[in-house]
Amino acid sequence: MKRIVVFSLVVFIILAIVWCIVEWPVIGLSIAVGSVFMIGIYDLLQKKHTILRNFPVLGHIRFLSEMIAPELHQYFVESDTDGKPIDRNHRSYVYQRAKKENETHPFGTELNVESDDYKWMSHSIYPAPKLNEAPRVIIGGKACKQPYSASLFNISAMSFGALGKNAVKALNIGAREGGFYHNTGEGGISDYHLQGGDVVYQLGTGYFGSRNEDGTFSSKKFKVQAGKSEVKMIEIKISQGAKPGHGGVLPAAKNNQEIANIRGVKPNTTVLSPPGHSAFSNPTELMQFISDLRDLSGGKPIGFKLCVGNKTEFIEICEAMKRTGVKPDFITVDGAEGGTGAAPIDFSNYVGMPWESALLFVVDTLRDFGFKEEIKVITATKIITSFDIFKALCLGADLCNSARGMMLALGCIQALKCNTNNCPAGVATNKKYLMNGLVVSEKWKRVKNYHEEILNDFLELMAASGCSETSQLSREFIYRREKAISWESYQ
Ligand SMILES: Cc1cc2nc3c(=O)[nH]c(=O)nc-3n(C[C@H](O)[C@H](O)[C@H](O)COP(=O)(O)O)c2cc1C
């Protein structure tokens, strides 16, 4: 916002000077030359910016361009296949489905189908009839007393705080109307999550909503949260792809009374989410924690989310399942290229296993242990189109989550400002004047539409592949260029 104000001000001053020159050439020119001279003197005397000292006046062009570079790039330079982390084609896919408009693409693919990372699915000469409704997935192993019937596509974890209240409300109403779940993210359950949609309560290392004053896990408070009728499943967040092994900080300035109440912390204090859990420190203790949460929640499905790092640690968790007989009901696999509100750049860029390899590793390890039937695999990371769902299911996932896809459905324009509280689309901000632009009564429909349309597209792909059940989907359907992907090489 500040950038836009400064830029507009500069443009206004320049126009005013041009107008003066046209109307009163002598006075106008004097003002113009005087201003340039003053700016030049200031640039030479200031010590902060080398470019301005070395190139007085002219150096400002660079700073002005930098100010609006992301917008200029997106509006004028970016092609349909450009744009990071989500390219324009994918963003448009969501916008069109969310608005239920123009779902076709003209003139053929723009993708480079000869590139090494191009993937495609095989269709059948004998397509299956398209299903009328997307199949649902029952989550809940033998120890679960309240299994949950989940949609194939759901809202991934994003906390109130990372998203504004209108965004959270619209997501939850969309989930209610569309029949899918909404993961709270690690920031606890707010009233905005309780609009009637199914909720997955996420427990991060800060145990928000279920913590003692010293930040440890409180079983008493957890029982209250997990007992809420909207809460259908509980997810222990071990790690998240965009910042695995990194904790979080809720700064005192952001920790207002409302957030403090939701999270169960003291207002106006800085609150840390440590990198690791205090409730367990080895696989056996993790299994004990899962078993405790299951009892405390009255037998609701309990799972954990992770971005794979050290493979041995995951194998050790599976060994602990075998040894103790306790298993999670689901495991959510996040890829290193997953999204976040804010994360240190090196954690986002270089820590954790990329999505495809991670999903294959988790699925194969569970299969090796004979656990894949009982433990459902949920996955998120750039699941934006129906082909992404199709591919994830072929690789072995049972169902998918989306965070950034759902943000786009809410009107996110990928301004890349989630970490500044200045999201122009009113999604990832708590500033009132920005949030007010996001009208809940309109945007929940977009969320519902996106879910409905992507699953409809998915059913078309499934029919084209010749499959009438998701259990028929396998890695054989996904190809990289001429060869079926050598899945071995991914591990
Ligand atoms: C704004 C934002 C906030 C997020 N907050 C959380 C969180 O609280 N807990 C979590 O496990 N993941 C969080 N994530 C990660 C997502 O749940 C998801 O795993 C990841 O972004 C990959 O999915 P996507 O590619 O569909 O965005 C967040 C992501 C975004 C974009």
How do residues 155-203 score in pLDDT, each as one tens digit?
999 999 999 999 999 999 999 999 999 999 999 999 999 999 999 999 9
Of the candidates 77, 100, 126, which is a domain's last residue? 77
CB contact set of 483 (below 8 Å; sequence gap of 6+):
none
Phi-psi region of 268 (alpha: psi -120 to 50; beta: other; left: phi over 0): left
Mean pLDDT by 10 residues, the chain (491 residues): 66 77 81 88 90 89 79 79 90 96 86 89 97 98 97 97 95 98 97 98 97 96 98 98 88 82 90 92 98 98 98 98 98 96 92 97 98 98 98 98 98 91 92 94 98 98 98 94 54 42
Q: How far is the CA of 162 from the centre of ligand 1 (A)?
A: 10
Residue 82 forms part of a structural domain: no
Amino acid identity at 268: N
Q: For residue 410, give both structure tokens.
A: 């809410």
Q: Are residues 152 and 12 in the same domain?
A: no
Q: Are residues 69 and 198 in the same domain?
A: no
CA distances 133 to 237, 365, 471, Å, are 31, 31, 15
Q: How far is the CA of 338 from the centre of ligand 1 (A)?
A: 7
- Each as own residue / partner, the long-range contacts of residues 349-353 (CB below 8 Å, 24 or more positions apart, any chain) are 351/243, 351/244, 351/245, 351/246, 351/309, 352/239, 352/241, 352/244, 352/245, 352/307, 352/308, 352/309, 353/307, 353/308, 353/309
Q: Are residues 170 and 311 in the same domain?
A: yes
Residue 89 forms part of a structural domain: no
Residue 93 forms part of a structural domain: no
Q: How far is the CA of 221 from the centre of ligand 1 (A)?
A: 25
Closest ligand 1 atom number to CA of residue 240: 11
Q: Which residue has the CA at smallest separation from atom 8 of ligand 1?
A: 185
Residue numbers of the domain that contains 316: 137-490
pLDDT at 13: 78
Closest ligand 1 atom number to CA of residue 428: 1
Q: Are residues 235 and 321 in the same domain?
A: yes
Pocket test for ligand 1, best of 87, 184, 340 (most atoms within 8 A of CB): 340
Residue 306 forms part of a structural domain: yes
pLDDT at 489: 47
Q: Is the Cβ atom of 404 under 6 angstroms away from ligand 1?
A: yes
Closest ligand 1 atom number to CA of residue 407: 31
Q: How far is the CA of 404 from the centre of ligand 1 (A)?
A: 7
d(CA 247, CA 306): 14
Q: Is the Cβ atom of 381 under 6 angstroms away from ligand 1?
A: yes
Q: Is the Cβ atom of 382 under 6 angstroms away from ligand 1?
A: yes
Pocket test for ligand 1, best of 156, 246, 427 (most atoms within 8 A of CB): 156
Number of domains in the chain: 2
pLDDT at 359: 98
Q: Which of 77, 76, 63 is nearest to 6 (CA)?
A: 63
Q: Are residues 44 and 151 in the same domain?
A: no
Residue 103 forms part of a structural domain: no
Q: Is the Cβ atom of 305 under 6 angstroms away from ligand 1?
A: yes
Residue 105 forms part of a structural domain: no
d(CA 432, CA 166): 10
Beta strand 399-402 pairing with 248-250: unpaired
d(CA 372, CA 51): 59
Q: How far is the CA of 334 from the centre of ligand 1 (A)?
A: 9
Of the candidates 31, 56, 77, which is a domain's last residue? 77
Q: Are residues 54 and 156 in the same domain?
A: no
Q: Which of 434, 410, 406 is nearest to 422 (CA)?
A: 434
Q: Are residues 461 and 389 in the same domain?
A: yes
Q: Are residues 69 and 150 in the same domain?
A: no
Residue 405 forms part of a structural domain: yes
Q: How far is the CA of 150 from the centre of ligand 1 (A)?
A: 19
Q: Is the Cβ atom of 306 under 6 angstroms away from ligand 1?
A: no
Phi, psi angles (nearest 5°) of residue 176 = -60, -50
The structure tokens 């939701």 sit at: 262
Q: How far is the CA of 245 from the centre of ligand 1 (A)?
A: 15
Q: Are residues 170 and 240 in the same domain?
A: yes
Q: Are residues 410 and 272 in the same domain?
A: yes
pLDDT at 35: 86
d(CA 158, CA 161): 9
Q: Which of 379, 387, 356, 390 is nearest to 491 (CA)?
A: 356
Q: Which residue has the CA at smallest separation from atom 30 of ligand 1?
A: 340
Pocket test for ligand 1, best of 87, 154, 158, 208 (most atoms within 8 A of CB): 158
Q: Which of 111, 112, 119 is nearest to 484 (CA)?
A: 119
pLDDT at 490: 47
Q: Is 229 exposed, middle or buried (0-12, 13-18, 19+ CB in 10 A)?
A: exposed
Ordered DSSP codes for 74-114:
IIII--TT--SSS-HHHHHHHHHHHHT-----SSS--S-TT
CATH of the domain at 159: 3.20.20.70
Q: Which residue has the CA at smallest separation from atom 6 of ligand 1?
A: 158
Cis peptide before 85 (omega within 30 of 0): yes
Q: Which residue has the CA at smallest separation from atom 17 of ligand 1?
A: 157
Task: Decide: 320 and 287 in contact? Cβ < 8 Å.
Answer: yes
Q: Is the Cβ atom of 409 under 6 angstroms away from ligand 1?
A: no
Q: Are residues 296 and 157 in the same domain?
A: yes
Q: How far is the CA of 423 from the centre of ligand 1 (A)?
A: 16
pLDDT at 482: 55
Phi, psi angles (nearest 5°) of residue 414 = 55, 50
Q: Is 401 exposed, middle or buried (0-12, 13-18, 19+ CB in 10 A)?
A: buried
* Segments in 142-192 forming alpha helices (H): 165-178
Q: Are residues 304 and 233 in the same domain?
A: yes
d(CA 53, CA 156): 48
Phi-psi region of 196 (alpha: psi -120 to 50; beta: other; left: phi over 0): left
CB contact set of 400 (below 8 Å; sequence gap of 6+):
152, 153, 154, 378, 379, 380, 383, 388, 389, 392, 393
Residue 87 forms part of a structural domain: no
CA distances 280 to 88, 95, 186, 284, 290, Å, are 42, 42, 17, 8, 10
Q: How far is the CA of 186 from the centre of ligand 1 (A)?
A: 10
Beta strand 399-402 pairing with 376-380: parallel
Amino acid identity at 471: S
Q: Which residue has the CA at smallest separation from atom 10 of ligand 1?
A: 157
